[in-house]
């Protein structure tokens, strides 16, 4: 083991010359081999992203590609409002080209990609959103333009259009005594063709349409707090739907995820690509300790094979969003040797760049 005088007084325990990453004169140096298989975005990242969060982005992108190249799979956990941030422009291609194999997202991300698909021209962007007064915000409310950071979603053109169709699906299932997951109702809608004459973006940029076409495994815990989830609850309260049974909930999602993980995690394993924190990340990553500890399958179930989180949340008392990956080792989610990265930056910048790198753009 290295002495404290060799690497400084505050060297972490176990740090040796062998465990140190090569410096910027080694692995991140430029040569023809480094650029092999990369497109313009990948070459730009390779040539310029050598330090701090940029270097971590570069390393995470390389490790993502390496996992896929050796036959591994990638699980995407998506919090926030990435659909309204138009992540679908790159995510849809990732899905279609087999670079993302399952998704866990918030109910907001699930529905907002479909809202954007049919009402994009009526969205309102407010570049100076930080300067809005409370009175300005109330004016947006009066015009039925709920705001997501710098973007307002047109309620009538987006939410109401989707609600009218999906509520018919709910009522039909309710009457027949059938039950489906929230995402399955939207998959049905997208695959039915009912919306095609309403598309306002190129459909190749809709990640939900790409997911529906592939019947991508999807998990949406806490769907009840979304716009459609609230609408569904209101129909129950009004008596239009007899009860919540026609829409499957979180426990059903977890058991479905457990079955999927058991089936797919062999071989090179499954990586975990996390945007933000909260339930979208905490829910699916727990499937490994569920299987290992609660199901007693420790030797049969592999750990997550890769982990990256894009977040600017600070480590705090119990803050899942800000917890460093090492903490997940104590919960039987990751191993000490798991490639793991934290990129403290804006996911609207970082995720598309990593996706472009992996796609060879």
**pLDDT digits over 226-239, tens only?**
999 999 999 999 99
Instruction: Quick: pLDDT tens for 204-227.
Output: 999 999 999 999 999 999 999 999
Residues in a beta bridge with 241: none
Token pair in block for residue 334? 């990751």
Domain spans in the chain, listed from the N-terminal domain onward = 49-359
For residues 180 and 160, what is the distance between their CA atoms, to the nearest angstrom?
21
> pLDDT band at 318, cuts 50/70/90?
low
> pLDDT band at 322, cuts 50/70/90?
low
For residues 25 and 349, what is the distance between their CA atoms, to the nearest angstrom?
26
Q: Is the pLDDT of residue 22 over 70?
A: no
For residues 314 and 323, what is the distance between their CA atoms, to the nearest angstrom?
8
Please report, for residues 24, 109, 196, 197, the alpha-carbon distance to residue 167 in angstroms, rounded to integers and kept in the order given.
56, 19, 19, 20
Residues in a beta bridge with 73: 270
For residues 117 and 161, what is the distance between their CA atoms, to the nearest angstrom?
12
For residues 88 and 205, what is the distance between their CA atoms, to the nearest angstrom?
5
Q: Is the pLDDT of residue 293 over 60?
A: yes
> pLDDT band at 37, cuts 50/70/90?
confident
Q: What angle do CA 254, 309, 203 make, to 5 degrees?
A: 75
Token pair in block for residue 171? 């009522």
Residues in a beta bridge with 247: 180
- The pair phi, psi for residue 153, each rounded to 5°, is -95, 125
Strand ranges, E, within 60-182: 73-78, 102-105, 124-125, 147-148, 151-152
Instruction: Quick: pLDDT tens for 74-119.
Output: 999 999 899 999 999 999 999 999 999 999 999 999 999 999 999 9
Q: Is the pLDDT of residue 29 over 50?
A: no
The confidence score (pLDDT) of residue 185 equals: 98
Q: State the greatest distance between any 2 C-alpha atoms of the chain, in Å, as a whole number.
A: 74
Range of lowest pLDDT (17-31, 175-189, 326-340):
17-31
> pLDDT band at 6, cuts 50/70/90?
very low
The confidence score (pLDDT) of residue 324 equals: 77
Instruction: Quick: pLDDT tens for 236-288.
Output: 999 999 999 999 999 999 999 999 999 999 999 999 999 998 899 999 999 99
Q: What is the mean pLDDT of the chain?
A: 90
> pLDDT band at 24, cuts 50/70/90?
very low
In words, the CATH class of domain 49-359 is: alpha beta
Quick check: 294 and 285 in contact, CB under 8 A?
no
Quick check: 78 and 50 in contact, CB under 8 A?
no
Please report, for residues 226, 231, 236, the alpha-carbon distance to residue 174 in angstroms, rounded to integers and kept in the order given.
20, 15, 11
The confidence score (pLDDT) of residue 319 equals: 60
> pLDDT band at 311, cuts 50/70/90?
confident
For residues 28 and 22, what is the distance between their CA atoms, to the nearest angstrom?
9
Residues shown for the chain:
361
The confidence score (pLDDT) of residue 23 equals: 42
Helix (H, G, I), strand (E, B) or coil at 206: coil
Q: The pTM is what?
A: 0.89
- The pair phi, psi for residue 116, each rounded to 5°, is -65, -35
Which residues lie closer than 8 Å to 167 by C-beta, 6 or more apart? 231, 232, 235, 240
Instruction: Quick: pLDDT tens for 101-111.
Output: 999 999 999 99
Which residues lie closer than 8 Å to 120 by C-beta, 6 or more apart? 200, 201
For residues 302 and 79, what is the distance between their CA atoms, to the nearest angstrom?
25
The confidence score (pLDDT) of residue 34 equals: 59
Average pLDDT over residues 144-171: 95
Residues in a beta bridge with 151: 125, 148
């Amino acid at each position: 083991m290295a002495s404290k005088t060799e690497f400084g007084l505050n060297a972490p325990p176990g740090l040796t010359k062998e465990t140190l990453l090569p410096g910027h004169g080694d692995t991140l140096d430029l040569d023809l081999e480094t650029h092999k298989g990369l497109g313009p975005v990948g070459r730009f990242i390779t040539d310029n992203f050598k330090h701090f969060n940029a270097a971590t982005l570069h390393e995470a992108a390389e490790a993502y590609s390496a996992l896929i190249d050796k036959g591994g799979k990638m699980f995407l956990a998506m919090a926030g409002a990435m659909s309204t941030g138009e992540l679908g422009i790159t995510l849809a291609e990732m899905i279609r080209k087999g670079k993302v194999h399952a998704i866990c997202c918030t109910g907001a991300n699930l529905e907002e990609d479909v809202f954007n698909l049919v009402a994009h021209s009526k969205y309102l962007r407010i570049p100076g959103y930080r300067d809005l007064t409370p009175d300005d915000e109330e004016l947006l409310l009066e015009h039925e333009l709920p705001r997501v950071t710098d973007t307002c979603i047109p309620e009538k053109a987006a939410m109401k259009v989707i609600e009218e169709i999906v509520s018919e699906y709910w009522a039909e299932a309710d009457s027949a005594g059938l039950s489906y997951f929230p995402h399955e109702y939207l998959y049905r809608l997208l695959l039915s063709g009912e919306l095609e004459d309403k598309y306002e973006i190129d459909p190749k940029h809709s990640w939900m349409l790409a997911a529906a076409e592939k019947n991508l495994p999807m998990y949406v815990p806490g769907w009840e707090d979304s716009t459609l989830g609230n609408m569904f609850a209101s129909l129950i309260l009004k008596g239009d739907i007899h009860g919540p049974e026609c829409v499957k909930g979180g426990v059903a999602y977890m058991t479905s995820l457990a079955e999927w993980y058991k089936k797919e995690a062999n071989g090179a394993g499954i990586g975990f690509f996390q945007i933000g924190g909260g339930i979208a990340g905490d829910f699916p990553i727990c499937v490994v300790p569920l299987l290992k500890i609660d199901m007693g399958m420790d030797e049969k179930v592999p750990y997550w094979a890769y982990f990256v989180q894009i977040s600017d949340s600070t480590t705090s008392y119990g803050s899942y969003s800000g917890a460093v990956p090492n903490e997940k080792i104590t919960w039987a989610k990751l191993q000490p040797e798991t490639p793991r990265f934290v990129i403290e930056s804006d996911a609207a910048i970082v995720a598309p760049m990593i996706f472009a790198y992996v796609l060879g753009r």
